[in-house]
């Protein structure tokens, strides 16, 4: 019985492992991207862009990420990619000190380690491919809200994980913008909902109850978007409270149409994925970045700041009722 069980398991294990593998040569001419978590529309769009770029630029694109926002899981994936000898590895880091243990290993193996979507500025990464500046993202959402609710309103913030450094950076800039430009604006302290829609909805609805004069709620993590939108609808506050956040058009669409979301701020993650792969190829080929770069397949030049090592995709985009249908991600 035991022997049969063992051979069944053995056969099963071999079958499960029977998929394509990378040989040593392929490995070097590949660019990998490690998102913060797999299975959410935002990173799926980045994957799509990466695939397109891989095909267009003649590199192999590898997309692999953790199934939950666990820093050790992400680290394991990055380490294994480095071991494989992948040419360039881009990481959307869960927090700014995430990469520290693998930086040396990457250098030793000649793997170009860089960040995309979320940065680790002091880690010695080769470049940071940014969707927009953290400052731009924080400022835009506050500016757009003030246009709609006035500069003396009370605004709530629902974020995802308290440990996500990129989300915290955006919140920091929101608070900075409010302090400097709109001193009468009341930005509440951020509350953290973790990764589920039900927690986000619970926190958003409690927030609205605690502050009946609340004029807006910002959903910072894309996983909190459906929760916040739903909470506004269920509380019957459509029109009285404006929801917004860094949400993908597909997720935000029904809420924008119903009016619970006023707008959504994002950028094109597919373009970000595309740019990431291009940047990786540049690093593999040893080509430096110019102050302004023309990327084959992209319709506008991309700027690079040598001092901070940031390759900037462009300005944040604002999705409203008028243009949300034009996008599919």
Report, in Å, the least distance between residue 38 CB and other proteins. 6
Q: What is the DSSP letter of 289?
A: P
234 touching other proteins, by CB under 8 A? yes
2 counts as binding other proteins under rule CB under 8 A: yes
Residue from 52, 143, 186, 235 touching other proteins (CB under 8 A): that is 235
Which residues in the 71-110 window bind other proteins by CB under 8 A?
Answer: 71-73, 75-77, 79-81, 83-85, 95-97, 100-101, 104-105, 109
27 in contact with other proteins (CB under 8 A): yes
Name the residue nearer to other proteins (CB basis): 144 or 161.
Answer: 161
Residue number with CB closer to other proteins (198 or 315)? 198
Strand intervals (E) in 197-284: 214-219, 242-245, 264-266
**Sole window of 18-26, 144-152, 260-268, 307-315 interacting with other proteins (rule: CB under 8 A):** 18-26
23 binds other proteins (CB under 8 A): yes
User: Rule CB under 8 A: which of 34-73 touch other proteins?
Assistant: 37-41, 44, 62, 64-73
Number of helices (H), then strands (E), in the chain: 11, 15
* Interface of this chain with other proteins, residues 243 to 262, rule: CB under 8 A: 250-251, 253-254
Is 201 a binder of other proteins (CB under 8 A)?
Answer: yes
179 contacts: CB under 8 Å, gap ≥ 6: none
The CA distance from 225 to 247, in Å, is 6
93 near 99, Cβ under 8 Å? yes
Q: Does 168 bind other proteins (CB under 8 A)?
A: yes
Cα–Cα distance, 99 to 163 (Å, whole number): 15
3-state DSSP: the chain helix, strand, coil percent, rounded to 5?
A: 45, 20, 35
Q: Is 192 in the site for other proteins (CB under 8 A)?
A: yes
Q: How many positions of this chain bind other proteins (CB under 8 A)?
A: 87
Q: Taking CB under 8 A as the rule, does residue 121 contact other proteins? A: no
Contacting range for other proteins; rule: CB under 8 A; set: 194-202, 259-267, 273-281, 296-304: 194-202
**Is 163 among the residues that bind other proteins (CB under 8 A)?**
yes
Closest contact distance (angstroms) between CB of 104 and other proteins is 7
172's enclosing H/E stretch is helix 165-181
189 touching other proteins, by CB under 8 A: yes
Rounded distance between C-alpha atoms, residue 35 and residue 50, angstroms: 12
Query: How would you classify the pairing of strands 214-219 and 242-245?
Result: parallel
Please state the separation of Cα 183 from the chain's center in Å.
30
- 164 binds other proteins, rule: CB under 8 A: yes
Helix (H, G, I), strand (E, B) or coil at 51: helix
57 Cβ contact partners less than 8 Å away, ≥ 6 residues apart:
277, 278, 281, 296, 297
161 is an interface residue for other proteins by CB under 8 A = yes
């Amino acid at each position: 019985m035991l022997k049969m069980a063992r051979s069944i398991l053995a056969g099963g294990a071999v079958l499960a492992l029977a998929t394509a593998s990378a040989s040593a040569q392929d490995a070097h001419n590949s660019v990998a991207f490690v998102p913060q978590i797999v299975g959410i529309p935002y990173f799926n769009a980045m994957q799509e862009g990466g695939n397109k770029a891989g095909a267009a630029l003649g590199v192999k694109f590898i997309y692999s990420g953790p199934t939950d926002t666990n820093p050790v899981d992400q680290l394991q994936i990055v380490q294994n990619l480095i071991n494989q000898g992948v040419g360039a590895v881009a990481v959307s880091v869960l927090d700014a000190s995430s990469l520290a243990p693998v930086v040396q290993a990457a250098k030793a193996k000649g793997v170009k380690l860089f960040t995309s979507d979320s940065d680790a500025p002091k880690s010695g990464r080769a470049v940071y491919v940014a969707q927009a500046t953290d400052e731009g993202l924080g400022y835009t959402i506050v500016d757009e809200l003030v246009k709609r609710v006035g500069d003396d309103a009370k605004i709530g913030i629902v974020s995802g994980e308290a440990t996500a450094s990129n989300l915290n950076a955006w919140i920091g800039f929101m608070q900075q913008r409010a302090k400097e430009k709109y001193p009468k604006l009341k930005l509440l302290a951020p509350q953290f909902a973790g990764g589920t829609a039900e927690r986000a909805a619970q926190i958003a609805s409690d927030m609205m109850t605690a502050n009946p004069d609340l004029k807006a709620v910002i959903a910072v993590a894309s996983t909190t978007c459906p929760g916040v939108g739903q909470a506004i609808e269920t509380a019957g506050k459509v029109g009285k409270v404006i929801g917004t956040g860094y949400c993908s058009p597909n997720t935000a669409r029904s809420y924008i149409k119903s009016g619970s979301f006023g707008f959504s701020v994002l950028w094109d993650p597919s373009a970000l994925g595309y740019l990431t792969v291009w940047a990786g190829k540049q690093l593999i080929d040893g080509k430096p970045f110019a102050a302004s770069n023309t990327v084959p397949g992209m319709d506008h030049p991309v700027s690079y700041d040598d001092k901070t090592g940031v390759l900037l995709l462009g300005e944040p985009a604002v999705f409203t009722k008028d243009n949300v249908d034009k996008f599919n991600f």
